[in-house]
Every structure is written in C-alpha cells, then in structure tokens.
Amino acid sequence: MGLFDSIRGELIDIIEWTDDSRDTMVWRFPRHDNEIKMGAQLIVRESQNAVFINEGRLADVYPPGTYTLQTQNMPVLSTLKGWKYGFDSPFKAEVYFVNTRQFTDMKWGTKNPVMVRDPEFGPVRLRAFGGFSARVADPGRFLTELVGTDPNFRTEEIEDHLRQMIVGRFGPALAKASARTPVLDLAAGQEDIGDKVAAVLSVDLADLGLEIPRFIIENVSLPEEVEEALDKRTQMGILGDMGEYQRFQAANALENSSQHPGGASDAMSMGMGMAAAQQMAQSMQQPAPQQAAPQQAPAQAGAAVPPPLPGGQQWYVGADGRQMGPFGAEQLQGMAAQGTLTQETLVWSEGMAQWTAAGQVPQLANLFGAVPPPLPPQA
C-alpha cells in the first residue's frame, strides 16, 4: 500500500490555477519531477489560457474550460510524443497559465515636455499623464517572446517598456492634434486622441502578443508661467468693465471703513488711488495734444538759460512768488493792456543783475505810457 501511494504521488491528476494576486500575468504550474497522468483534469478558468511546453517547444494552448487530457485533445503534444495509437502513459510537460484579463492599474506620463506648435499661442511645451490597460491577446506568442522560462511573470517586468512605447507614440499624436485644435480646446478631444493612441500601440505590440484596450489621458498641462498668464487673462475677462469694477471696490471700501476704526483714511486713500489710476488709464487712451516746449525761468539771476528766440529780447515775469515766461515784447504789451503786468511787477531778462520792477526798466517804459496808474486805495 505504501508503494502504491508513492507511485500515485508522482502522478498529477488535476492541473489548475487560482490567481490570488492583481499583477501576475503568467504562472508556471509547479510540476517538478512529477509526471502528468494521461486522463488528468485540466481546469482553465475564465480570463485564463493554459499553454503546454514540451522539451522547450510550444505544444498546445487551451482556452477556458475543463479538459480530460487524452491524445485526442492534445494534437500537437501527441504528435511530438509519437502517441500514434493512443498509448495511455504518463508524460512530462511544462504547463503555463496565462492571465488574459485586463491589467488596469498602469500609469504613464511624459518625463520631458512635448513641443508643439499651437495655432493661437505659437510654440508651447505640453506635459501629459494618465493611465492605460494591457491585455495578453496571443498567449503563445507572449510566452515565447517575453516570458521565456520565468515561473512568475508580473506586470512590473514589462511596465517600463510599455511606458516608453506609449510616450514615443503619444508625442506625435499630440502634435498632430494640436496642429488642428488649439491647446485650450484639447480637453474636448482627449478621448479621441486616447483611442487613436491605443489602436496604434496595439498594432505595435501585436508581435509580442499584447494589446492596449484602453488608453486614458487624464490631463494635458501647459508650463506653470503660461498657466499663470492664462489665469490673469481669465480674471480680466470676469471683471469686464474696469471702471465699474473700480467703483464697486471703492463702494465696498467705504462701507467697510464705516464698520472698522481707522478705515475712513484707508478708504479715502484707496479712492484717491483708484481715481488716479482711472485718470491715468483715460490719458493713456487719448492722444496727447501737441504743446509748445515748457517755458521756465532760471531759479536765480545769472543762471544759464536758453538763447532768446528770434525776434527780440525775452523776459521773465514774477507774480505771487512764481516765475513765468519767457515772454516777448508783444506778449508783455498785451499783458500790460490787460492789467496783469504793472509797473510794480518784477521782471528779469538776460544781462540784468537782479529782478527789477517793470516800471524801472528802460526797455519796458513804453509799455506803460498809455496805461493809467493804479487807483489809490480807498479810505
């Protein structure tokens, strides 16, 4: 009885795999030195394929289902073993279970920005990130091209390679999309771009037995400084009429000042500042009128002054502690006729030692010949 149990222990009756992980793509059945019994049960669950390898060569691939291993349903392995007459004997073969479900917990992102030419902003740098899912489409090809003899092949062993292929394909796809669509409108077409990238990647990965059923673009972002400029532009668009906004802010400031001590002065300062800013904005929008060059008199006698204009001597007039001019003789005559220039008005011209009353200057004496003297003060 003990000998029978020993022999029976070397024969495998049931071959199956229940996956308790979320990242195992291929798992090799632990046969060791045991032989598979002819007539054993092979259980392949949904989202699995079983692949038989005999002496390093791929033999049979089984989709989901329950199989009784006989020469009739093992065509390739039976040919390799030479069981022409259905010889019912144990055999040795490696059995790999391939997980064919979608592996969805994969992420991708552009390490370096993608340079594109936007029809609105010109050349811009874009970054993007998202997720994708991978699935084994051809278990036999996947096993021979990537897995090899690895007894426990996980997603981390191929994830870097997939990300490199994704970034390589995503850059050209994004450049083509941005050439037709402004960057600000790309969000509306992200799903379409993702579907196109997934289709291209599935074609590229077909030789490896893989496909990309889902490709998701979570975000396409601009450089930080460009986003800040767009935020300011958005704020200006929301504010609308700047004049109305300033009046609204001033009204709020005055209302708050009445509720907080010391707020009145702050509100007055804010109102004056807003008024100055509004006046400056209006002056910037209106064309400046053409004006003659400013006329200034020297701060003191003997200071350097511009040369007299052609046509006569130039005079400076002092009134109310201010100096005005220079004026020509005709202008002084008109001022004398209007009474704004009297004999007591101080004047100065180049060559004079100091300011002197106009009536005491010989060159100006003729201006007051027909001008009556000032009325005497009333008692």
- Name the pTM for this structure: 0.58
The 8 Å CB, 24+ separation contacts for 302-305 are: 305/350
Task: Assess whether pLDDT exceeds 70 at residue 8.
Answer: no
Q: In what order do the strands lie in the sheet with 315-319?
A: 322-327, 315-319, 346-348, 356-357
Q: Does residue 214 contact residue 223 with C-beta atoms inside 8 Å?
A: no
Top-ranked range on mean pLDDT: pick from 80-89, 129-138, 280-289, 298-307: 129-138
At 261 the pLDDT is: 55
The 8 Å CB, 24+ separation contacts for 292-299 are: 295/324, 295/325, 295/326, 296/323, 297/323, 297/324, 297/325, 297/326, 297/348
At 311 the pLDDT is: 54
Q: Does residue 135 contact residue 48 with C-beta atoms inside 8 Å?
A: no
The stretch 147-153 carries a mean pLDDT of 92
Residue with the larger pLDDT of the pair 187 and 18: 18
Rg of the Cα atoms in the chain? 48
Q: How far, in Å, CA of 193 to CA of 179, rounded?
A: 13
- Tens digits of residue pLDDT in 238-265: 766 666 666 666 666 666 655 655 544 4
Percent of the chain with pLDDT over 90: 30
Task: Assess whether pLDDT exceeds 80 at residue 53.
Answer: yes
Task: Assess whether pLDDT exceeds 80 at residue 77.
Answer: yes
The stretch 191-217 carries a mean pLDDT of 92
At 3 the pLDDT is: 41
Q: How far, in Å, CA of 155 to CA of 164, rounded?
A: 14
- Which DSSP category does 143 fall into? I
- Tens digits of residue pLDDT in 275-314: 445 555 555 455 444 443 344 444 444 445 555 555 578 8
**Per-domain residue ranges for the chain?**
2-99, 103-225, 315-368
Mean of all residue pLDDT scores within the chain: 79
Task: Assess whether pLDDT exceeds 70 at residue 20.
Answer: yes
At 176 the pLDDT is: 84
119 — pLDDT class (breaks 50, 70, 90):
confident
At 288 the pLDDT is: 45
Q: Give the helix ranges, DSSP H, for the chain.
A: 2-9, 75-81, 139-142, 156-180, 190-205, 224-239, 242-257, 263-285, 329-338
Find where tokens 């390739």 sit: 76
Residue type, 196: K
- Tens digits of residue pLDDT in 214-231: 999 998 888 888 888 877
At 229 the pLDDT is: 80
Beta strands, E only, 47-191: 48-54, 57-62, 65-68, 94-99, 103-109, 114-118, 122-136, 152-154
Q: How far, in Å, CA of 136 to CA of 157, rounded?
A: 14
Contacts of 352 (CB under 8 A, 6+ apart): 301, 361
Name the CATH code of domain 103-225 (choices 3.30.479.30, 3.30.450.190, 3.90.226.10, 1.20.1050.140).
3.30.479.30
Find where tokens 């003789």 sit: 329
